[in-house]
Structure formats: C-alpha cells, structure tokens
Structure 1
Amino acid sequence: MSQTTVNLFDMPIEQLFSRVKTNFRLYQYDYRKHTVLLNDDRSDAVGQIRLPLHLSLDDQLNITGNETLVLYLSIESGHAAICVMQGKSNVYHTTFSAYMTRKKQGVSQIKYLNKKGKSRAGSRVRLAKTIEFFERINTALIRLFEEHEIERIALNCNATLIPYLHNSKVACPFDKKDSRLYKIPLHIPQSNFTNLDKAVKKLMAPILFYESEHELMINKALN
C-alpha cells in the first residue's frame, strides 16, 4: 500500500482541528512527535497529521500559543547549524565547521576511531578538532538558553554524534531525555543554514499522511 502525503497549508488550523474533533473523536495528540493520530471508531489508526512546530497546544487540540520559541539544531561530521525561531520569525542563526573528515576515505574521524582507534598525528588532530567542534556548539547553546526561554528543541543529529554532544567538557544545556526534544522528521543533506532554513519552512505547514485504503474516509472527514 502506498502512503499519500497532503500539504494542508491552505486550511486554517482552527478549522482543521474542528474537523478532527468532529470526525475522529478518538484522535490522539503526541507531544513528542507533535502529531495528531487519526483513529476511527474502533481505535484503528487511519492517518496522522504532522503539526507546525511554532504552534503549542494541549491534548484537546486547543492552541495555547502560536509564537512558540523553537531552537533548531542540525549536526553532522564537520558541520552544524543553529537557528532560533519565535513563531515564524528567525531571531538568531549561526553555523560551525571543523576538520573532522579523513579526506581519502571520506569518513568522519569518529567513525574511523570506532573501527581503528587512535593512530597517526592526522587522526589526533581531527579528534582534537572534533572535541573543539562540540565544545563550540555547546558554548553557543548555553548562551542561547540563557538569553531565551526555549520551548522546543528540534534536533537533527546522527546517533554516533550524540555522545559527543552530551559528553563534551562544555556541558550541553539539555539532556538526551529532555521533554522538549523533537526529532526533525526531514532529511537535511548538509548542516548549513540554507538547508536548515528550508527544513524550518517545511515544518511550518501541517502535513497529512494516510494509506491509500483510507482515502475516502480521510477526504470525507477533512475536505
């Protein structure tokens, strides 16, 4: 079965929530994923709606704020980007880069170390740059968390890099289980501001996902 994706940008969010409440009485709001699971009268899932991250709401889909302060963080080997959004307005952004990749093999020093361990001088230099890279990121994050009351933390980061973020000598201002964490559900080809900004803009629209077998029910309920 194929999955259908529909951008609901043109539908007023209050109208969308009203139709969900009326036609999917057993809906469930997932704060972590910031999605609404659409269930039929037998509690079977028929679709879901990914909600704009700048909106805050309660379990009854009542909007409690539309100017949510969200920190977006995207990290890959040697590149990182931070963006702070107040609602739909960008209030801060910055980028980081570091020499972390083995040029001939094209893999990060972290992945190489996991296989080979420490070796030559070049590897030690890349490892030092890796440590410094995450210290710089956390230093910037600490300042931003001091200056702003961050309500959500949208993160795009490979699992192999997470320990370096949280085990840095400069402590990360949020932990792995922070309730505000939101995994960015989009592919970001490279962690620079241009790509992160594109992801942020895509996350401003509600997106409906459903399997083709439920198309008639979904269209009747929401259109």
Structure 2
Amino acid sequence: MNKFLSKEQASILLRAIEAEKIAAVYEQEKHRIALPVESGNEQVYFRLPLVIPAPGTSQPDKKEQVNYVILLIQSGNCAMGYFENGVNLDHKVFRSYMVRKKQGKSQLKYLKTKGKSRAGSRVRLGETVEFFENINERLQSYFEDYRVDRIAISCSKTLIPYLYNSKTATPFDKHDPRLYKIPKHIHTPIYEVMLDANRFLLRGELIYEEAQQAKVNELLALAGITDVDDAPEAYDGDTEEEGFDLWD
C-alpha cells in the first residue's frame, strides 16, 4: 500500500520520528528510511522528497538547498533538467533515430540477435552514438556550472552501457552515491513527463503492507497528520525496457 505526503507533511513526519528517537535506518540509494514493525521482521518504508536532505546531515532550523539533475532515457528519447529545491532552471530534450520502424525494436536490441547491420542500421547506430554524446555534453555543463547533490535517473538496461561508454564521458560513474533510481514508471521522456517525475520526487511516500496499517496510523498521528493521499500509481518493478540496474 502507498500513501503520499506533501513536502511539508514529510518534513514534519521526519522531525517527529527523529524527536521520538524511533529506530530507523536510512537507505542512501533509495533516499528512504526503514521503520521496523514490532510484529515481526516487516518494515514500513518512508521515501523522502528529494529536496529533503538525508537525516542527520543538516541542522533542523537551517533550510539547506538541494540541487539535482533529472535524467530520463529511453530508446531515441531523452529528457533532462537541472533543478534547485524543486524548481527547474534548465532543461533539454533529445530525440534520435534509434528504432527500426517496421519492427518497432531498438537497433541496439536488433544487433544482439541479427549480427551485422545494413546501411539503415549503420545510420541508426551513428545517431545512437551522437545521442549519448549530446546527453553527456549537457550533463558535463550542469556539473561544471552547478553543485549537484543528487542524480535522479531512469534508463533502460540496454542503454546503460552506451551512457557510460560514450566518447564524451559521463560526469559520474555507476557507483556514484548521488545516483537515485526513480521508483516510478516513466513514459516516453518529454518535458512534461520530466515535470511529472519531478512532482513525484517532491512528495514523500509511505510504503507498507495492509497488515502494517496500524503502524502507519501511529506514525501519522505522532506527526499530527490527518490528510494524506493514496498513491495514484504504484511502482510495479523493472521491465527490460523501462527498468535498469546501475551495476549491470
């Protein structure tokens, strides 16, 4: 089950958890805290808004700015942007001819099953190379011009090697602790989809099983929160095209 919280509600809940010294474990990779449930080994997860710093890294009375990049990549489509405290200051959308129109399959996947390519395939491969060079050039400009605290990314498994092996280097590696895999299905990356992903990242989320409802009610009551939203869309895991593993 999922419950969404506004950024303000999430901040209040986090302060209440810290004030009551409730046992919790922060997971950097997923930017969430795990809260134990007394009935067993189950846990309630509290995903923090991306603009809230990790617990214990800032003073409670000091508003610390969080800068981040959102990077969404699918075959032939990329939307990316630089954000400060949730506000988009720069964005760019890239498109490339990477999909075989008749089969509707990425040229990269086609090569894995069919071997050498013909003239049209070579064009698509050339555009693929340029596609990732353009992405990394834009990323480099962000990292040169700004302090980047987190990198929110959604990229298919088949494309991850091309991102990191581009002739134009990516300004971070696969094991960068700032990487944050967006836990949400992402539609074809365009500017509006990126903004939708940002709205998702600005909200907190309680993730739990139905049997843990009493624990969730207790946490919300502790923070004085009475009005929360059901998550409109539950993340259903990775697929070959939509999901990815940073360590493949």
TM-score higher than 0.5: yes
The change in CA–CA distance for 1:139 and 1:61 in structure 2 (over 3 A counts) is closer
Q: CA–CA distance in 2 between the matches of 1:52 and 1:66?
A: 13
Kindly, what percent of the aligned residue pairs are identical?
39
Provide structure 2 residue ranges, at least 5 long, that are not aligned to the other structure: 222-248
Q: CA deviation at 1:31?
A: 1.3
1:49 aligned to which of 46, 51, 56:
46
The change in CA–CA distance for 1:145 and 1:43 in structure 2 (over 3 A counts) is farther
Q: CA deviation at 1:22?
A: 5.7
Aligned residue pair count: 220
Residue 187, structure 1, aligned to residue 185, structure 2: yes
Amino acid at match of 1:174: F
Deviations 1:65-85 (A, max 9, x none): 542000000001100011111
Judge conservation of contact 1:73–1:156 (CA < 8 Å) in 2: yes
The alignment's TM-score, normalised by the length of structure 2, stands at 0.82
1:202 aligned to which of 200, 203, 207:
200
Judge conservation of contact 2:153–2:180 (CA < 8 Å) in 1: yes
Q: Which has the higher strand share?
A: 1
1:27 aligned to which of 24, 44, 49:
24
Name the residue aligned to 1:106.
Answer: 104
The alignment's TM-score, normalised by the length of structure 1, stands at 0.91
Q: CA RMSD in A?
A: 2.1
Moved more, 97-106 or 210-219: 210-219
Residue 8, structure 1, aligned to residue 2, structure 2: no
Judge conservation of contact 1:52–1:206 (CA < 8 Å) in 2: yes
Q: CA deviation at 1:62?
A: 5.8
Name the residue aligned to 2:243.
Answer: none
Judge conservation of contact 1:74–1:191 (CA < 8 Å) in 2: yes
Name the residue aligned to 2:162.
Answer: 164
Provide structure 1 residue ranges, at least 5 long, that are not aligned to the other structure: none
Q: CA deviation at 1:165?
A: 0.5
The change in CA–CA distance for 1:126 and 1:10 in structure 2 (over 3 A counts) is closer
The change in CA–CA distance for 1:202 and 1:176 in structure 2 (over 3 A counts) is same
